[in-house]
Chain A
């Protein structure tokens, strides 16, 4: 028996449902995708091409806003919002520093030499090829496909999901269902939950240490016993926050006013 909490990868070809099963939403999503993607692409090119640093930052803002729009399109509201908050703030600080630290005239221009163009072109093409090769291997990304009929008949609502989980926990504690049955049921619930695109709560619970990741096998101890565990993301989260703390302290150290050493008269 295999356990997989992850939604099964579906092929690109399945994205288009037969005309009878299709909803207007299925037509709207590709249209919106193309609008946002074109906007992002244009703005990204403009970011690179423009020589004025504040204009570049503005184009960058539009690109990043488009990225968050992409997240909203995929139903990941939390990630999209974080993208918006963090990067708008980040770009803002970029503008302020761009103005304050590099200003010699009223509007700042950056000159780019031919060699820099060449190097950046090579790096850019390399990165692009990595991306293209990588994405072509992933297949379908996004919420798992459901048929139009199934989309309106969720097995569990979000509220009742919690109840079902608690119930399963209880049953496992009593021993009335075994581990395999438990994890199978949980994996099914996971699929359901991912399909309903309530990512934010799952992400949040993962960050405070509740095991929400996909179920996988792990061997423990000397007896090489195999158990089924779920990943949680408390440790990565803490590492990132420590990293940020280090950066903050470093920035404060670099930016603090240098005291002049008193020279003995």
Chain B
């Protein structure tokens, strides 16, 4: 029968290629997680006015995460007696696989993608919901009430936040006319003003709404109700230790980069540095097509990774700045605010493309870009003219009376 007709010897180049792609993506996920955990500790430290890790691996504690990793690997692997053993074991891997699968469709450079798909962004959102399934199994299978509460909260949160997240992704999809991430990123080449965040007011709004939902979907503070250590010990992963806990963590940091990658490609030009040329085309013009693609894409991939890490940094920044919401507030934020906002954005962008005259659409991104740059300049000027804290020898109220502009602290 024809279905049995395969020979291993014809296959091995393919299998080798698959294995290489797997190692590349998984290796990136691992390195990215190691770096992000280190970054998280440093950012948390700085925001809380302390230093963070300083000892392991030189001045900045570079190797702190590696040391943590080794510690976790040699930790005792405990499975509670009351746990459902199969689900307890399977949960972390389901979460990790869901997070890993998202990277299959994410382009890191011009054509640097494991599998280019027509429906790449849709695919990424779909497989990332598999990760949530893993989290809920973890919560349920632990046989602990803390974990179960965490898992159920995660289920409720995911089911509601998926809606505004998908609607916000649809906004640039409508503008681009494609769900192919590679194609969408290429449409935004040749300059920062072509990025879809500046395309019209609705895509601008959609970026911020999407990023809020993305933070919630990665269960990051202020939406980290699934772990909420002040009420639930550690939420869904209370009972985990050692390597399984490590893979839960890797899944979380992996999906943080993945949602940042979507934000990058859909709104922030993908691997574009904002310069008025595309790297592979630039290098292709004087190095020839093959070498141009290779050299250009090396730069593209670096830019993309650092842009992704920047958005991950913003998530950390928010996490260590804002307090955690209550579960009812989390649900209210989504259902009363984010869902209507994203619906308005979706309607708005459709009408914008249909109704607004073509010449306004063609030049509006310049206006948006100009306004954003102006706002940024004003903001930075304000930052440097504000007194961010009261000098230690000043009395409350006195600072205001001597007229330091922008100082708000003494108004109470």
**A interface with B by C-beta (< 8 Å):** 12-13, 15-16, 22, 24-28, 30-31, 33-34, 52, 54-55, 58, 61, 65, 77-78, 81-82, 84-85, 88-89, 91-93, 95-96, 99-100, 106-107, 198, 200-201
| A22 (CB) vs chain B CBs: closest residue | B10
Q: Mark B113-154, 1 if CB is under 8 A from A, else 0.
A: 000011100110111011011001100110100001000100
Cβ-neighbour of A12 out of B2, B6, B152 (below 8 A):
B2
Do A24 and B10 touch across chains, with their CB atoms under 8 A apart?
Answer: yes
In Å, the complex CA distance between A200 and B183 comes to 15
In Å, the complex CA distance between A82 and B127 comes to 10
**Minimum-distance CB pairs A-B, first 4:** A85-B126, A15-B2, A27-B6, A84-B126
Query: Smallest distance from the beta carbon of A105 to chain B beta carbons, Å?
Result: 11
Q: Which residues of B contact A88 (CB under 8 A)?
A: 126, 129-130, 133
Do B82 and A106 touch across chains, with their CB atoms under 8 A apart?
Answer: yes
B7 at the interface (CB under 8 A from A): yes
Give 22 CB contacts A-B under 8 Å.
Answer: A24-B10, A24-B11, A24-B13, A27-B6, A27-B14, A28-B11, A30-B2, A30-B5, A30-B6, A31-B11, A54-B137, A55-B87, A77-B119, A78-B118, A78-B122, A84-B130, A88-B133, A89-B159, A92-B158, A96-B136, A99-B148, A106-B143
List 9 extra interface pairs beyond A31-B6, A77-B119, A92-B155, CB under 8 A.
Answer: A12-B1, A15-B2, A54-B140, A55-B87, A65-B130, A78-B118, A78-B122, A96-B155, A200-B119
Q: Which residues of B contact A30 (CB under 8 A)?
A: 2-6
B74 at the interface (CB under 8 A from A): no
In Å, the complex CA distance between A55 and B141 comes to 9
Q: Tell me how many residue pairs across A and B have CB atoms closer than 8 Å.
A: 106
Query: Smallest distance from the beta carbon of B91 to chain A beta carbons, Å?
Result: 9
Do B10 and A200 touch across chains, with their CB atoms under 8 A apart?
Answer: no
Cβ-neighbour of B136 out of A52, A92, A200 (below 8 A):
A92
In Å, the complex CA distance between A60 and B129 comes to 16
Do A61 and B133 touch across chains, with their CB atoms under 8 A apart?
Answer: yes
Asked, given contacts A24-B14, A55-B84, whether A15 binds B129 with beta carbons under 8 Å apart, the answer is: no
In Å, the complex CA distance between A12 and B3 comes to 9
Asked, given contacts A28-B6, A107-B143, whether A58 binds B130 with beta carbons under 8 Å apart, the answer is: no
Which applies to chain A's interface (DSSP): helix, strand, loop or mixed?
helix
In Å, the complex CA distance between A107 and B86 comes to 12
B371 at the interface (CB under 8 A from A): no
Do A77 and B126 touch across chains, with their CB atoms under 8 A apart?
Answer: no
Q: Which residues of B contact A28 (CB under 8 A)?
A: 6, 11, 14
Query: Smallest distance from the beta carbon of A191 to chain B beta carbons, Å?
Result: 19
In Å, the complex CA distance between A78 and B123 comes to 8
Do B11 and A95 touch across chains, with their CB atoms under 8 A apart?
Answer: no
Query: Smallest distance from the beta carbon of B136 to chain A beta carbons, Å?
Result: 6
Cβ-neighbour of A15 out of B3, B14, B133 (below 8 A):
B3
Asked, given contacts A58-B137, A88-B129, whether A52 binds B5 with beta carbons under 8 Å apart, the answer is: no
Q: Which residues of B contact A33 (CB under 8 A)?
A: 3
Do B3 and A81 touch across chains, with their CB atoms under 8 A apart?
Answer: no
Query: Smallest distance from the beta carbon of A175 to chain B beta carbons, Å?
Result: 31
Query: Smallest distance from the beta carbon of A252 to chain B beta carbons, Å?
Result: 14
Q: Which residues of B contact A16 (CB under 8 A)?
A: 2, 5
Cβ-neighbour of B11 out of A12, A27, A77, A91 (below 8 A):
A27
